[in-house]
Chain A
Amino acid sequence: MKYIKFFLVGILFGIVMTKAEIISWYRIYEMFKFQSFHMYGIIGSAIILGMISMFLFRKKMVRTFEGNDINVTPKKKGLYRNLLGGILFGLGWALAGACPGPMFVLIGKGVVSILVVIFGATLGAFLYGLFKEKIPH
């Protein structure tokens, strides 16, 4: 039962991804063509409100439902890791028109071919684990 809350938050996430057309390949293309404000508005407003959440966490004005402090673990530093990994991710994002979240949501929409993309993404994560020691971070 302790997992049901994650299921419900996931449902909310899946609905907003679908209803705001974030899972549409075309919306990602349009974003990278700078032909619509839609995606920038979504990501931008999520970040601005997110900053307020982070402030509340840092000042301990909001704790977890169990009363623990919320500490946001920082991402790993490293120019190569973040820049090169980011570029590779961006190439895939614009080709698939979907990042990992929307990929899963598209299953719910009944898109069979997205399973090939998800298989590829899982294979990609596996290949990263395989070549991790050989690539720059």
Chain B
Amino acid sequence: MEFITQPWPWYIAGPVISIVMFLLFYFGKRFGVSSNLETLCSIGGAGKFIDYFKIDWKQNSWNLIFIAGSITGGFIASQWLSTSDVVALNPQTVKDLAAIGIANAGSSYLPDEIFSIDTMLTIKGFFTLIIAGIMVGFGSRWAGGCTSGHAIVGLSNLELPSLISVIGFFIGGLTMTWFILPLIF
């Protein structure tokens, strides 16, 4: 049991994610989370304004069920399979974050400077969260996939569009981490 409650190393997590992908294909579907965002738009009635969302979303309901399972899995893991929320970061990462205004890095999963309720209720904090979301949602649909669909499935399948997308993920991610985040806090 101690093995379960400790943080899982990469060589367990990577293969488990690959098994998730394998099982979804085995069940006749495919691994891709960001397409659910479009399904949510369709359910919300976006098809009334934009033809792009006029789809029979019920054929994607399996993926929403997968998401419901993911939420449940997150609940199970944090409630019953974990003894600590501390993330053992590289000490240099902790120092770097302190230097840009994020204190106590790694004491829990998420920085209060972005995710605490108090931060969420400030104008700057609220817009930080919503703009981050908009970029993820717009970007993943423009690119036609996110980390699951492009990085895991697409690269496994040796697809050039996915390689280009993942290079894009890193150009964007490195720009944010190295040049924009230091200006925000």
Interface residues of A (CB under 8 A from B): 3, 5-33, 35-47, 49-51, 53-54, 57, 62, 64-66, 68, 70, 72-79, 81-101, 103-114, 116-130, 132, 135, 137
Contact = CB atoms under 8 A, between A and B. Distances in A.
B75 A74 contact: no
A14 B115 CA distance: 20
Contacts of B114: 25, 97, 113
A11 B76 contact: yes
Contacts of A12: 16, 19-20, 69, 73
A108 B68 CA distance: 9
Given A26-B89, A89-B139, A92-B135, A82 B161 contact: yes
B132 A7 contact: no
A13 B119 contact: no
B65 A10 contact: yes
Contacts, number: 498
B133 interface: yes
Interface string B35-60: 01110110010100110110000000
Contacts of A127: 134, 137-138
Contact of B71 (A62, A65, A108, A130): A108
Given A92-B136, A121-B136, A129-B52, A84 B168 contact: yes
Nearest to B13: A20
In this complex, which of B15, B22, B117 has the most chain A Cβ atoms within 10 angstroms of its Cβ?
A: B22
B37 A94 contact: no
B93 to A, nearest CB: 5
B156 A54 contact: yes
In this complex, which of A13, A23, A127 has the most chain B Cβ atoms within 10 angstroms of its Cβ?
A: A13
A129 B47 CA distance: 10
B53 to A, nearest CB: 6
Interface string B102-145: 00011001110011110110000010111111111111111111
Contacts of B144: 75-76, 81-82, 85
A115 to B, nearest CB: 9
B115 A122 contact: no
Interface residues of B, number: 128
B77 A88 contact: no
B76 A94 contact: no
Nearest to B27: A5
Nearest to B36: A100
Contacts of A16: 8, 12-13, 16-17, 20, 73
Contacts of A97: 110, 114
B93 A30 contact: yes
B75 A89 contact: no
Contact of A124 (B67, B133, B160): B133
B115 A47 contact: no
